[in-house]
C-alpha cells in the first residue's frame, strides 16, 4: 500500500513537471502548437469574437436610434422652414405689388423724371466705381459695366424705394433654396447610409441568434443570392464618414451667413484688424449710404451701388419730384413698400437662422453617427461573408526558435498568421510574455485581427 502511494505521488510529480515543462517551453516558444492546438485556440478566439459581434450589433441598434431621433427633428425643421418660406414669399409679393404701383405713379411725370435720371446715372456710376477702386484690388471695370446695365433697366424710383434690396432678397431666396436642396441631399445620403448599415447588421444578428454557438454564414447571404447594398455604393469611394458630408458645407455656410449683415443693411462698421487697419475687402458707404459692403458683394450685385445715391444731386432731386401735385416717394405707397420689405427681410433672416440650426444639428448628429460607425459599423460588412468559420489561427512561430532565451531577457515576440472572416490572411506579432497556452493568447490574437479588419472594412475607411 505504501509502495502504491509512493508510486502515485511520483506519477503526480512527473505530471506536474510535464505541465510546467510545457508552460516553460511554450513561453519560450521552444514548443510550437500542433494542428489540434491551433484548432482549439481558434475556437476560443471565435467565442471571444461572437461576443464582440453581439456587442457591435447592439451598438448599431443604438446608432439607428440616434438616426430616428434625428429624423423626428428633421420633420420639425421642415415644417418650420416651409411655414417661414411661405410667409417670406407672401411678404415679397406684397412688396413687388407696391413697387409696381409706384412705377405707375412714375409714368405721370415721365419727362421730368427722365431728365433727372439721365444725369443721376453717370454720377451714381462714377461715385461707386471711385469708392470701389479705392478699396478693392480689381474688378472696377466690371462693376462699372454691370451697374450701367442695371441702371438702364431700372426705374428711377428704385434707387429710393430700396430697389436694390428687392434684388438682394430675391437672390437670397435663390441661394436659400439651393442651400436647402443641398442639405436635404446630404441628409438623405446620411439616412440611407445608416439604413444600409442597420439592415445588413440585422441580417447578421438573425443568423447569430439562430445558429449558436459557432458563427458561420450560409449560402443565402452570398452575393449571388442576396441583393447587396454596399456602403460604398451610397457614398463616394472610399467612404470617409458621415461628418464629412457636412464639413465642407459648414465652412461655406459660415461665409454665407456672415455676409447677411452687410447685405441686409445692418449698420455696423467693419471691425479693424489687429494692427488697427481696416479690412481692405470692405467698402464703407457712410455717410453717403448705410453701412458697408464687401468688394465681392458689389461685384456680385452692382445694384448695391444705389447706396451712394445721396452724393449725387440729381439723384436726390428724384426723391422729391412733384408729379402733377403728387409726391410718390413721400406718400403711403412708399411706406407700405418699406413695411413689406421689412417683413420679407425679417422672414429671410428667420429662414437663414433655421437653415443654420438645421445644418448644425446635422453636423453634430453626423459626428455621433461616425463614432458609432467606427466602433460598431464593421459588423454590417459580415452580411457579405460566405466563410464557414469566422476565425482561424493558421500558424504560430517565434522569430528565432533555435536560440535559447537568456536569463532575465524578455521572451521573443510570437508571430501569428490569422484568417478572419473573408479578409486576406493577416500576419502580426503577439508579445512574447503571453504564451500560446495562455487562454488570454486567443483573445489577444482575435482582438488584434478584429482591429485590423475594422481598418479595412467596407464600412470604415
Q: Which residue has the cell 533555435?
A: 402
What Cα–Cα distance (Å) separates residue 46 from each residue in 55, 213, 390?
14, 9, 7
What confidence tens digit (pLDDT) does each residue in 18-48 have?
444 444 444 455 568 889 999 999 999 999 9
* CA gap 21, 37 in Å, rounded: 17
Task: Please give the model's pTM, rounded to 2 decimal places.
Answer: 0.66
* CA gap 356, 176 in Å, rounded: 11
The pLDDT score that the predictor gives to residue 57 is 94
Coil/strand/helix, residue 432: coil
Coil/strand/helix, residue 228: coil
Burial status of residue 101 (CB atoms within 10 A of its CB: 0-12, 13-18, 19 or more): middle
DSSP state letters, 41-106: HHHHHHHHHHHHHHHHHHHHHHHHHHHHHHHHHHHHHHHHHHHHHHHHHHHHHHHHHHHHHHHHHH
The pLDDT score that the predictor gives to residue 257 is 42
Q: Where are the domains of the chain?
A: 33-59+386-400+412-459, 63-207+282-382
Burial status of residue 250 (CB atoms within 10 A of its CB: 0-12, 13-18, 19 or more): middle
Q: Which residue has the cell 466705381?
A: 129
Q: Which residue blocks in 211-274 are alpha helix, DSSP H?
A: 231-234, 243-258, 260-263
Query: Could you say which residues of the chain have pLDDT below 70?
Result: 1-31, 105-109, 161-164, 208-240, 247-292, 323-330, 385-389, 399-411, 457-461
What confidence tens digit (pLDDT) does each residue in 351-365 have?
999 999 999 999 999
* CA gap 438, 430 in Å, rounded: 12
Going by DSSP bridges, is the β-strand pair 292-294/282-284 parallel, antiparallel, or unpaired?
A: antiparallel
The pLDDT score that the predictor gives to residue 106 is 65
* CA gap 436, 92 in Å, rounded: 77
90: which 3 cell numbers? 407672401
The pLDDT score that the predictor gives to residue 184 is 93
The pLDDT score that the predictor gives to residue 208 is 67
Other beta carbons less than 10 A from residue 45's beta carbon: 25
Coil/strand/helix, residue 329: helix
Amino acid at each position: 500500500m505504501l509502495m502504491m502511494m509512493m508510486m502515485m505521488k511520483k506519477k503526480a510529480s512527473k505530471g506536474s513537471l510535464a505541465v510546467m515543462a510545457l508552460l516553460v517551453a511554450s513561453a519560450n516558444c521552444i514548443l510550437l502548437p500542433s494542428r489540434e492546438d491551433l484548432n482549439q485556440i481558434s475556437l476560443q478566439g471565435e467565442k471571444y469574437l461572437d461576443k464582440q459581434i453581439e456587442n457591435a450589433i447592439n451598438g448599431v441598434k443604438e446608432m439607428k436610434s440616434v438616426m430616428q431621433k434625428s429624423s423626428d427633428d428633421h420633420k420639425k425643421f421642415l415644417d418650420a422652414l416651409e411655414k417661414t418660406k411661405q410667409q417670406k414669399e407672401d411678404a415679397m409679393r406684397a412688396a413687388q405689388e407696391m413697387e409696381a404701383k409706384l412705377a405707375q405713379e412714375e409714368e405721370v411725370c415721365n419727362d421730368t423724371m427722365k431728365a433727372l435720371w439721365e444725369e443721376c446715372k453717370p454720377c451714381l456710376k462714377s461715385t461707386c466705381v471711385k469708392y470701389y477702386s479705392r478699396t478693392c484690388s480689381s474688378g472696377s471695370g466690371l462693376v462699372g459695366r454691370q451697374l450701367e446695365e442695371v441702371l438702364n433697366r431700372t426705374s428711377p424710383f428704385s434707387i429710393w424705394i430700396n430697389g436694390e434690396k428687392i434684388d438682394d432678397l430675391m437672390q437670397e431666396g435663390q441661394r436659400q433654396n439651393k442651400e436647402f436642396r443641398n442639405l436635404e441631399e446630404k441628409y438623405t445620403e446620411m439616412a440611407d447610409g445608416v439604413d444600409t448599415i442597420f439592415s445588413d447588421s440585422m441580417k447578421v444578428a438573425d443568423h447569430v441568434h439562430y445558429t449558436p454557438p459557432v458563427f458561420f454564414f450560409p449560402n443565402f447571404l452570398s452575393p449571388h443570392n442576396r441583393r447587396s447594398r454596399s456602403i460604398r455604393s451610397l457614398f463616394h469611394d472610399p467612404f470617409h464618414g458621415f461628418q464629412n458630408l457636412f464639413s465642407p458645407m459648414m465652412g461655406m455656410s459660415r461665409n454665407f451667413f456672415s455676409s447677411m449683415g452687410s447685405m441686409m443693411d445692418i449698420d455696423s462698421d467693419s471691425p479693424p484688424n489687429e494692427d488697427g487697419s481696416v479690412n481692405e475687402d470692405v467698402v464703407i458707404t457712410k455717410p453717403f449710404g448705410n453701412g458697408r459692403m464687401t468688394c465681392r458683394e458689389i461685384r456680385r450685385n452692382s445694384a448695391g451701388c444705389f447706396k451712394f445715391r445721396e452724393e449725387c444731386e440729381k439723384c436726390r432731386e428724384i426723391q422729391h419730384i412733384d408729379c402733377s401735385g403728387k409726391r410718390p416717394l413721400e406718400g403711403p405707397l412708399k411706406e407700405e413698400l418699406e413695411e413689406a420689405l421689412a417683413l420679407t427681410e425679417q422672414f429671410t433672416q428667420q429662414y437663414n437662422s433655421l437653415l443654420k440650426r438645421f445644418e448644425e444639428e446635422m453636423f453634430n448628429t453626423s459626428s455621433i453617427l461616425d463614432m458609432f460607425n467606427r466602433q460598431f459599423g464593421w459588423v454590417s460588412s459580415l452580411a457579405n461573408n460566405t466563410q464557414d468559420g469566422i476565425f482561424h489561427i493558421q500558424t504560430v512561430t517565434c522569430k528565432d526558435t533555435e536560440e535559447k532565451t537568456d536569463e532575465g531577457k524578455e521572451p521573443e515576440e510570437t508571430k501569428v498568421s490569422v484568417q478572419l472572416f473573408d479578409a486576406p490572411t493577416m500576419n502580426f506579432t503577439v508579445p512574447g510574455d503571453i504564451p500560446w497556452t495562455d487562454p488570454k493568447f486567443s483573445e489577444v490574437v482575435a482582438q488584434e485581427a478584429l482591429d485590423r479588419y475594422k481598418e479595412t472594412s467596407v464600412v470604415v475607411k
